[in-house]
Amino acid sequence: MKKAICPLCEATCGLVISTREDEILDIRGDQEDPFSQGYLCPKGYALKALEEDPERLRQPLIRRGQAWEQASWEEAFELIEARLPPLREQLALYLGNPNVHNLSGQLYVPVLARQLKNHIYSASTLDQMPKQVACSLMFGDPMSIPIPDLERTSYLLILGANPLVSNGSLMTAPNMKARLKRIQQRQGKVVVIDPRRTLTAEAADEHHFIRPGGDAYFLLALLHTLHQEGLVRSNPHFQGAETIAALVQDSSPENMSPHCGIAASTIRRLSRELATAPGAAVYGRLGTCTQEFGTLTSWLIEVVNALTGNLDRPGGAMFPKAAAGARNTSGQPGSGRGYREPVQFTRVRGLPQVNGEFPASALAEEILTSGEGQLRGLITIAGNPALSAPDSDQLERALADLEFMVSVDSYLNETTRFAHVILPPPGHLQRAHYDLVFAQLAVHNFARFSAPVFPIKPGQLDEWQIVLQLARILSAPQISLEQMDDLVAHQLQQRNPSTRIDPNLRGPERLLDLLLQAGPYRLKLPQVRSENIDLGPLQPRLPEVLRTPSGKVDLAPPQLVQDLQRLQPKPNPEFVLIGRRELRSNNSWMHNLPLLVKGPSLCTLQIHPEDAQRLGLQNGDQARVSSQTASLEVAVEISDRLMPGVVSIPHGWGHSRPGSRQTVASRHAGVNVNRLLDSTRLDPLSGTIVQNGVAVKIQACTSA
């Protein structure tokens, strides 16, 4: 029996795994884990099926024409070394979400990224970048993200998030159902604002429908009420409060209610409740980020937290203090290391580089548009942009047009089928694990490490070795992989001279040890290896966190104040499209596991009964959904969980493309909702594609 940390989502649950030799007998939640306390979701249990999936790649593949051949690591890297360096100036890197769940990815992908002339794209601009931009501007660092102090809060207002299904997102908190229930048991209150009555909304004390994209209007009305009723709390660490007061002067609940769909009386009451609760927090997630006003909404959430007196307050929105790699624990407060105006722009549309990367929606055009600087090579690591990126039809054409493509991935999927070489990482349970990123977003401070459950087998390479080998080929082919790894460790140690390199460690464990030594608790890897270390509840630490040039919280950054001008009322289309999450689904990459896709289809068009009746639709019918970019046909699921005029299709499906090798996924193909998204419609400050609140037309498919 061995213990591990689940690497599949942000909850980071502790696992107990029973094994016999190299076979998994059983997976259970670890009752002794101080953070997850035995919680386990279906994805965690599915780790067994993932490890045993016969279609998961275990040996490199090389594509010759349209045929795939198994190859040795030597053959694969020999081809890469011949084809990749000549394209270095025209080479891009695409990173998928699983990289942040991966210790090797977090520590070694940046080494590779530094070789690619800033041509970095990732799922961040399909997900959380608006929150990171807002926090950069307000607090000075994209990872200084306030997290609800769920252990002590008495009032939680949730916008556009479904943490009972996501297990928290930009909020590491396993077993959210129990955590929300504990808020209620201590006479607290949970309120959900969402255009869909989610599982979280059903568990809450209140749920209010909101028009997709209307969150900023709602938040402005909350702020107006706070000012009008004298409920604003001042703080010497804030600047810009007077500007906020002027900005919200005309944003009364009566004025904003028609644009967000929430009654003015409800807005006023919620504002008072937030301001008078012993400890309250506003939490917004995917639905607030992936919309037309994602950065504005992310900003206004934190302004509400601040002006109700709940920022950096026990029970409010607080800043975790991670043991390793936390940027807001290093450097001097007020050091001016915060948001930097973009200096790099995409070649075709002139879109800004944000936090070191370009918008994912620009990748296809940068490949397809000829001229100086045209991208001709691509490395993908763990991403499947052919399903997850907007205007997928165009992106498929772009991937087919590349001169050379390398994918580090476990599957031959919709994206990697365009690669010339696929390099498979080992199974998740063959890797050491430490959550560098999610410890910086956790509702409780901890340090937890899990050793590999199974060893790397002869003929396999660990993921850090694969990524570092690619970096070596592009930067220093004259040195060995071991020398390259020593160089990386030495450079990290030089940035923190008080640390010492452990000669008994190599790879990610050596780098993690250096980060722990340099962290605020001055830990070492052997300590964390021996036990889970409880570092205590979240504590007030605002002056320590701030990295803005002024050393204060900037409540009214000029970029955001200016962006408010875009917030103009527009005609409401007949239907708008939103996404949704399912507990058994993790984007696109776990759909080849029968345990997670069995039963009724998860990929349906949910539509309100009144709308279905008007269109002549019944459960199971096929409906055609059309946008400005594409049309698709999808099975209908009538549901009163949505407000009228809103329809929902989940993200990550569409496993029907020829050339992939995922038999189970293809049997449960679903439709690719990202085909309906317009790659030119972006939140301008973050470069994030608009995925929620997309105007669509719905019609019944006529039978032949």
The domain spanning residue 310 has which CATH number? 3.40.228.10
pLDDT for res 704: 43
Contact residues for 503 (Cβ-Cβ < 8 A; gap 6+): none
Question: What is the total count of domains within the chain?
Answer: 3
Residue 195 and residue 209 in contact, taking contact as beta carbons nearer than 8 Å: yes
Final residue of a structural domain among 261, 295, 318: 318
Q: Please check whether residue 166 lies inside any domain of the structure.
A: yes
The verdict on 162 and 297 lying in the same domain is yes
Look at residue 71 and tell me if it is in a domain.
no
Judge whether 252 and 140 are in contact, CB under 8 Å: no
Same domain, 298 and 175: yes
Is position 418 within any domain?
no
Residues 158 and 292 in one domain: yes
DSSP-assigned beta bridge partners for residue 633: 624
Least confident of 168-177, 189-198, 335-344, 521-530: 335-344
Domain annotation covers residue 474: no
Give the residue from 303, 318, 333 where a domain finishes. Answer: 318
Q: Are residues 288 and 156 in the same domain?
A: yes
Do 46 and 155 fall into the same domain?
A: no
Q: Is 671 helix (H, G, I), strand (E, B) or coil?
A: coil
The Cα–Cα gap between 402 and 418 comes to 9
pLDDT at 330 over 70: no
Same-domain pairing of 35 and 181: no
CATH code of the domain covering residue 14:
2.20.25.90
CATH assignment at residue 615 = 2.40.40.20
Which domain, by its residues, includes 642?
A: 575-700
Please say which residue of 37, 52, 67 terminates a domain: 52
| Same domain assignment for residues 40 and 173 | no
- Answer yes or no: is 524 within a domain: no
Question: Does residue 368 sit within a domain?
Answer: no
Q: Which residues contact 328 (CB under 8 A, 6 or more apart)?
A: 139, 140, 141, 143, 144, 319, 440, 544, 545, 547
Asked if residue 35 and residue 159 are part of one domain, the reply reads no
Same domain, 583 and 691: yes
| Rounded mean pLDDT, 500-511 | 96
Same domain, 170 and 302: yes
**Residue 504 domain flag:** no
Sheet of 67-70, strands arranged across: 67-70, 61-64, 421-423, 404-408, 377-381, 91-95, 120-122
Assess whether 158 and 46 both reside in one domain: no
Q: Which amino acid is located at 655 in the chain?
A: H
**φ and ψ of 69, to 5 deg:** -125, 135
Has residue 546 got a pLDDT over 70? yes
Contact 579, 646 (CB under 8 A): no
Q: For residue 444, count other CB atoms closer than 10 A to its CB.
A: 19
3-state secondary structure 199-239: HHHHHCCEEECCCCCCHHHHHHHHHHHHHHCCCCCCCCCEE
Rounded-to-integer distance, Cα 575 and Cα 189, Å:
32
pTM given for the model? 0.96
- Write down the pLDDT at residue 345: 94
pLDDT tens digits for range 297-329: 999 999 999 999 999 999 999 999 999 988 777
Tell me how far apart the alpha carbons of residues 52 and 50 are, in angstroms, rounded to a whole number.
5
33 and 173, same domain (yes or no): no
pLDDT digits (tens, 9 = 90+) for 635-681: 999 999 999 999 999 999 999 889 999 999 999 999 999 999 999 99
Does residue 605 belong to any structural domain of this protein?
yes
